[in-house]
Structure 1
Amino acid sequence: MTLSQLTLHNFRNYAELRLNAAPGFMVFSGANGAGKTNILEAVSLLAPGRGLRRAALRDIARQSGPGDFAVAAQLDDVHLGSGTSIETPERRKTRINEATVPTNDLAEWLSILWLTPAMDRLFTEGASGRRNFLDRLVTALEPSHARNCARYEAARRERNKLLSDPYPADKDWIDGLDTQLAQYGAYVAEARGQMIAALNHRLEQSESNIFATPTVELADGQMRSEQQLYRMLQQNMAADRAAGRTIRGPHRTDLHVIHSAKQQPAEKCSTGEQKALLFSIILAHADLIAERRDARPILLLDEVAAHLDPQRRAALFGKLAERGGQVWLTGTEPDLFKDIPADALHFEVSDGTVTRR
């Protein structure tokens, strides 16, 4: 999975940008605020979801622009594009080879994984961030997961609307939504459980001399079948009506990560250990995707080199080079990337302009 060209229109601080890309390392250096992370964010929007910043669409459009934005890329002979229009700035539209498609269809073409400084808080903040992280990992491995999550959430929103209505809805209407929630919830739970099992197997095989080795698990325990989920929804109907929302289900799942060597939850580890655990998960998951989808995912690593000592930095670059694929990196200083292979493409970013070094 390698982009050969990236084009931006009214994206963040870029009025227009056309960037030729190549397999291997794409390195962007420059001062803070120059626009390095914006480039990685643009690539991340070639996958389902809200991108690596999880920003509102209005915030992505260039501040001095008319209100729209577009991201386009070339993947072999496939043209991918996503963005908004001036008329509908809150609605994202996606095209593949000029045909309008649901944004979730992007997962069929690209797997994209990322690490950003904001993810340092993943283990200490609320469960929703970990759940989003979990579902990105699953979607990168199983593209249909994004559609199943979207269908589950649509049914849950409709059910919550009925539950919060002071006038009780017809029971058949609620039962119909419970059937949908159970069906798509079972798909979501099964895909999550299968990914966790496969990832743990891959982590057991990974080298532990660079980063800490984690074990990952779902906080809700075992997967639930469609019948179990339907029964649970029916049994909790009174409590859900009192709360005005669906209290239990896959939308409440949490991801637990444990430092294997210490048998210690990630949230109780040091900041450095937490970052190491994240590195291990991303690298192992990239290997898993390469094995299952016969192509390595695109990796977006934002400001990761600055937080590693020279020995681990060189080891990371060596591991990434050995495995191949396309890796996009950012950093404030070009010297941070001196151990990257000589065929890497280096770019200087300054106030919305990108120059090949």
Structure 2
Amino acid sequence: MTRLAITHLTLSHFRSHRKGAIDCDARPVAIYGPNGAGKTNILEAISLFSPGRGLRRASAEDMTRRPEALGWKLTGHLHSLDRLHEIEIWSESGAARQLRIDGKTAPQTALGRIARVLWLIPAMDRLWNEGAEGRRRFLDRMALSFFPAHAEAALAYEKSMRERNRLLKDQVRDAAWYGALESQMADAAEVIHANRLATIAYLASAQANAETAFPVADLSLIHAEGDMPDTAAALRAAFAESRPRDLMAGRTLIGPHRSDLDATFAAKGVPARDCSTGEQKALLISLILANGRALAAEFGAPPILLLDEVAAHLDATRRAALYDEICALGAQAWMTGTGPELFAELGERAQHLEVTEEGGLSKIRNLSLE
């Protein structure tokens, strides 16, 4: 099976890790240790091997180790579709992070062509009960895994919308000022909307064609303003028609930034927001696994999975089922927990790292090499 995996990772002055190195193979990686030892910081470092701001959405300055604040650096060996890439990611004195792939400077979006990284973190456990922004971000991360250009479309849309909102806030009424911006927004919005719908279709197919211990989620894309136009021409017309309302509000009221991801526990017909905490967690895990299965078919390899405190709200039976599905998928999953007992069902199918904190420094031991 073709694999996507990180087999070497070094961390220098990154968060709690003054200096750390991990060597591993493509199997799942179980990371355990006490709270505050730096386990999630390892997952955050790996999340930066994909486009975007990482699993904490932190600034480069926030990632530097304190009190030194010297900047930080990550290096890694990424195996992707039978090729080995050397990745360097760094920030100097809080500046925006920089990237080199195989010794050549590259934009962050270039990572989307060679890496697919998905994550599930405790902050997402209430995804179905909180605001639409988090659900859009969740859907867009999955869309990005299928369509690397999705990030560029989202950035183009946000940039043009910010400029349009500035005009609206300043009560500019001259239509000539809006035309070009709305055209750029419409072109990007068409791509964003199409990618989101295609992603939902991929996930539906992956869930329907799999035998899994986790519940199926029926997904749909809904919009604050009813049905959203799905072509650039219709979107341009809608933006123009909405200007009077938008001027009164001082912001753009239609577009993909007003969309929401709706989910239903299929077997029960219950909206995800009304499910129990355990059911909500299981639905999230189901979607991550479905995303992995779909990517294995579309990209050619399952994604790297980052599962922080994944055992929370899972009983032993469902925890074992999760590990079985990860291994069957062939994904390199980096998982954290407070103790080795949480990963007992994995046995030798995984590598085991112990992370401890000594004198304010995080220490990493690969127990599989001892």
- TM-score > 0.5, shorter chain as reference: yes
Look up the equivalent residue of 1:97 and give its one-letter code.
D
Compared CA separation, residues 169 and 7, structure 1 to 2 (3 A) = farther
Q: Tell me how far apart the structure 2 counterparts of residues 311 and 138 of structure 1 sit (CA, whole Å).
A: 31
Which of 47, 61, 64 is residue 61 of structure 1 equivalent to? 64
| Equivalent residue runs for 1:1-357 within 5 Å | 1-76=4-79, 77-86=84-93, 89-166=94-171, 168=172, 170-208=174-212, 210-220=213-223, 221=227, 224-351=230-357, 352-357=362-367
Compared CA separation, residues 216 and 280, structure 1 to 2 (3 A) = same
Q: Deviations over 1:273-305 (max 9, x none)?
A: 100110110101100011000011001111112
Compared CA separation, residues 223 and 328, structure 1 to 2 (3 A) = farther
Q: Deviations over 1:250-271 (max 9, x none)?
A: 1111001101011111001110
Q: Deviations over 1:145-175 (max 9, x none)?
A: 1111111111111111222224x27533310
How far apart are residue 67 of structure 1 and its match? 4.5
Compared CA separation, residues 343 and 266, structure 1 to 2 (3 A) = closer
Q: Tell me how far apart the structure 1 counterparts of residues 222 and 210 of structure 2 sit (CA, whole Å).
A: 24
SS across alignment from 1:284? helix
Superposition TM-score, scaled by structure 2 size: 0.91
Q: Tell me how far apart the structure 2 counterparts of residues 54 and 66 of structure 1 sit (CA, whole Å).
A: 19
Look up the equivalent residue of 1:80 and give its one-letter code.
I
How far apart are residue 90 of structure 1 and its match? 4.7
Contact kept in structure 2, 1:203 and 1:215, CA below 8 Å: no
- Structure 2, unaligned runs of 5 or more: none
SS across alignment from 1:342? helix
Aligned length in residues? 353
Contact kept in structure 2, 1:190 and 1:223, CA below 8 Å: no
Look up the equivalent residue of 2:161 and give its one-letter code.
R
How far apart are residue 9 of structure 1 and its match? 1.7
Contact kept in structure 1, 2:229 and 2:235, CA below 8 Å: no
Q: Deviations over 1:33-77 (max 9, x none)?
A: 111111001101111122112223322111222242222211133
Q: Deviations over 1:293-322 (max 9, x none)?
A: 001100111111243211111121111112
Q: Deviations over 1:158-201 (max 9, x none)?
A: 111222224x2753331001100000110110111111112112
Which aligned runs of 4 or more in structure 1 are off by greater than 6 angstroms?
none
- Structure 1, unaligned runs of 5 or more: none
How far apart are residue 228 of structure 1 and its match? 1.2
Q: Tell me how far apart the structure 2 counterparts of residues 56 and 270 of structure 1 sit (CA, whole Å).
A: 34
Q: Deviations over 1:207-266 (max 9, x none)?
A: 25x222111110135661111111110000111122221111011110011010111110
RMSD of aligned alpha carbons:
1.6
Superposition TM-score, scaled by structure 1 size: 0.95
Q: Tell me how far apart the structure 2 counterparts of residues 83 and 259 of structure 1 sit (CA, whole Å).
A: 42
Q: Tell me how far apart the structure 1 counterparts of residues 207 and 349 of structure 2 sit (CA, whole Å).
A: 29
Look up the equivalent residue of 2:5 and give its one-letter code.
T
Q: Tell me how far apart the structure 2 counterparts of residues 222 and 81 of structure 1 sit (CA, whole Å).
A: 41
Q: Tell me how far apart the structure 2 counterparts of residues 145 and 279 of structure 1 sit (CA, whole Å).
A: 23
How far apart are residue 92 of structure 1 and its match? 2.5
How far apart are residue 341 of structure 1 and its match? 4.1
